[in-house]
Amino acid sequence: MSRVWKNLYSRLTHSLRPSRVLESEQPVSTLPTVGTLQADEMNLGSSTPLPSEWHVLQATEAGAAHDRHGLPNQDAITCSWGPNESLPIILAVADGHGGSKYFRSDQGSKLAVATAAEVIDGFMHALKEDNNAAFDETTLKMHAPKGIIKRWVEQVRAHLQLHPIESEELNRLDPKERDEFLRCGTTYSSLIPAGDTEAQALTDEQKSELQIAEAKLIQAYGATLLVVAVTERYLLYWQLGDGDILNVASDGSVSRAMPEDDRLFANETTSLCTGNAWKDFRMVLQSLPEEAEKQPALIMLSTDGYANSYSSAQGFEKVGSDLLRMMRENDGLASVENGLSGWLKETSAGGSGDDITAGIILRLSALKELPAEEATEPVVEELGAEPETDSVAAGVQASIAGDTKTPAIESEVSPNAKKQ
Amino acid sequence: MSGLPGEGLARRPLHFIWICDCSGSMGIDGKIQSLNNAIREAIPHMQEVAKENPNANVLVRVVKFSSGAQWHIASPLEIENFRWEDLSSDGVTDMGKALRMVAEQLKVPPMEDRALPPVLVMISDGQPTDDFKGGLREVMAQPWGTKAVRIAIAIGEDADLEVLQNFIGNSEIAPLQANNPDALIRYIKWVSTAVLKSASQPASQPATGAPAAHVPIPAIPDVGPASADDVW
């Protein structure tokens, strides 16, 4: 796996030229018309398109407080699919920090979701190309986060070079911070080399000055990040900072794949812009049961403005089960797609006031499944049948067969997070 | 099914706690009456700030300390319904006891994880007569204690500035020295409006572990140099 990752890493980080700045996608409103069917272990893509089992809804709305104070929506969301609307689905949500020092966090969050989708998509395809590939802990918990951070910083650098800091952006800062950012902006603009030749001509002192100035300026783009990837057999989750990931089972019960992080409290969060940010990622890998009805009915990623709008965690988690119930009604899916943006806006107004973004991955077959209490046929237990497991909340199975040396992947988190 | 998904849509609570010295010395030269007037006058301004930041549910309480400490207004009152009841003065200065009572209220529960950082305003004219350090330790042992905005107003020259600075816990913010009624009014208004407004706006930021103020503190009003009007 490390060989696969090295190849991917190299391809993604090789270019010296400023990268294309990627914008987040607009909300999805159409059903996918093609899907995937493949016998390989990842089942990542197919040249034979079939209707997809999955559907994605996205919505993002500026917070009521942001509207009042003339601030932009600092959240972002994007979703990518494999070729011909096949798997993997990669859904990413980011929340730019609201403090005055993070005056480009709206751009930072856009770059975060685009970067995450690009890196994770590249990772998936590198796996597909290598028949001996397997998920290993190091790749999932270290290389993937490192790759995302590295690529995000590259994108931020590119944006900074194209868009030097302007004094008008600094109006919300106190005089001391404003002067500091202006000074760093000037230093950065004057020292950033155009190419290798100029880079080599910098003195050690200039390199140090440039590094310090850049680190300060990158802060202005700070954001959190949540990513979910769906393959034929796995669900992969990465999270840096606040926000929520809800798993809703077919019976409407709600669970969370991601354990808590004790450091996220009182508007403080871990972030893409802090040093060694890759260590702050939490990562969970879940296997998808073969029986569809045991797979999650829907997975929702949301920024913290959503959960902060409810007086209890249970009240917020009911969003997940309510959405599933609403989608199961006649024309329910279309109603939810049409209503989601407005609901987020209304929730912000009556709740936290913060930007709210929600991305929902829906298993379409779940719309036809009824919760047990609504089933019309009696459930008959087979004598001697093995007990069912809670597949939605289950930890991870061992890695893909074929690589006996690869350690089993636990449903695991970074050292600082609390296990459930 | 109609309506929003989820249950219990609610604004974020913002707890504002006045911690008021009601020792016997506060009865000298009209200090306690000036404090009563200043807070009463500040209420409409607090209500105005709350209206401008409707996503913060401002909840006000008051704890008083002299010989012992008691809740003067125990249940958090929405600022829209908050009415000031005059404090009176008598006894010593059990500031530590007051802080212990505040610490109890900063636990989760009754505080909520989703709350906005609380604002604690300590107002005193003298030196603590009990275990102030122990009381402060209990406040700071609570996560909401460390994240709270802590402001201190010293009334008169006999106030213990070191104690008040310890309460604030941030070298970039000094105790506000009010040596006359006008200065007290201006500082009370500032903390009730500018600080409240800053605390009402939910701005996320990376956890850096730095001791700097979690909520940006606005510029402190200038009440002018010492003058003949300084009666305290």
pLDDT of residue A51: 58
Strands (E), A25-175: 54-61, 75-82, 86-96
The pLDDT of residue A172 is above 90: no
Instruction: Answer positive or negative: Cα dihedral of A334, A335, A336, A341.
Output: positive
- Beta bridge partners of residue A86, listed in sequence order: A82
Average predicted confidence (pLDDT) for chain B? 92
Closest CA of chain B from A331, distance in Å: 12
pTM: 0.84
Closest CA of chain B from A359, distance in Å: 15
Closest-CA residue to A282 (of A300, A256, A305): A256
A137-164 pLDDT tens trace: 788 889 999 999 999 999 999 999 999 9
Using an 8 Å CB-CB cutoff, list chain B residues near A273: 206
Q: Which of A263, A268, A308 lies at the smallest CB-CB distance from B12?
A: A308
Q: Which of B15, B49, B53, B55 to mutate to test the interface with A (most CBs of A within 10 A)?
A: B55
Taking the Cβ of residue B210 and every Cβ of chain A, the question of whether any pair is shorter than 8 Å is answered with no
ipTM of the complex: 0.91
Q: Poorest-confidence range of A47-51, A232-236, B64-68, B176-180?
A: A47-51
> Whole-angstrom Cα distance, residue A136 to residue A405?
10
Cis peptide before B110 (omega within 30 of 0): yes
With an 8 Å Cβ cutoff, are B112 and A311 in contact? yes
Please say whether the beta carbons of B117 and B15 come within 8 A.
no
The pLDDT of residue A295 is above 50: yes
With an 8 Å Cβ cutoff, are A268 and B4 in contact? no
List all residues 6 or more positions away from B80 whose beta carbon is below 8 Å from its beta carbon: B47, B50
The pLDDT of residue A395 is above 70: no
Structural Rg of chain B based on CA atoms:
17
The pLDDT of residue A399 is above 70: no
pLDDT of residue B209: 59
Question: What is the rounded end-to-end Cα distance, in angstroms, of chain B?
Answer: 64
The pLDDT of residue B113 is above 60: yes
B21: left (phi over 0), alpha (psi -120 to 50) or beta: beta
- Kindly write down the DSSP assignment for every residue of B28-40, as one continuous string: GGGHHHHHHHHHH
> Whole-angstrom Cα distance, residue B42 to residue A79?
50
Closest CA of chain A from B204, distance in Å: 5
pLDDT of residue A103: 95
Taking the Cβ of residue B211 and every Cβ of chain A, the question of whether any pair is shorter than 8 Å is answered with no
Return the axis-axis angle of helices A175-191 and A204-219, rounded to nearest 10°. 130
- Kindly write down the DSSP assignment for every residue of B43-66, as one continuous string: HHHHHHHHHHSTTEEEEEEEEEEE
- Beta bridge partners of residue B13, listed in sequence order: B57
The pLDDT of residue B103 is above 90: yes
Q: Which of A99, A224, A323 lies at the smallest CB-CB distance from B203?
A: A99
pLDDT of residue A333: 96
Q: Which of A65, A97, A314 lies at the smallest CB-CB distance from B201?
A: A65
Rounded (5°) CA angle B157-B162-B164: 80
Average pLDDT over residues A371-375: 59
pLDDT of residue A130: 66
Tell me which chain B residue has its CA closest to the CA of residue A219. Answer: B206
> Whole-angstrom Cα distance, residue B150 to residue A33?
58
Rounded (5°) CA angle A238-A242-A245: 55
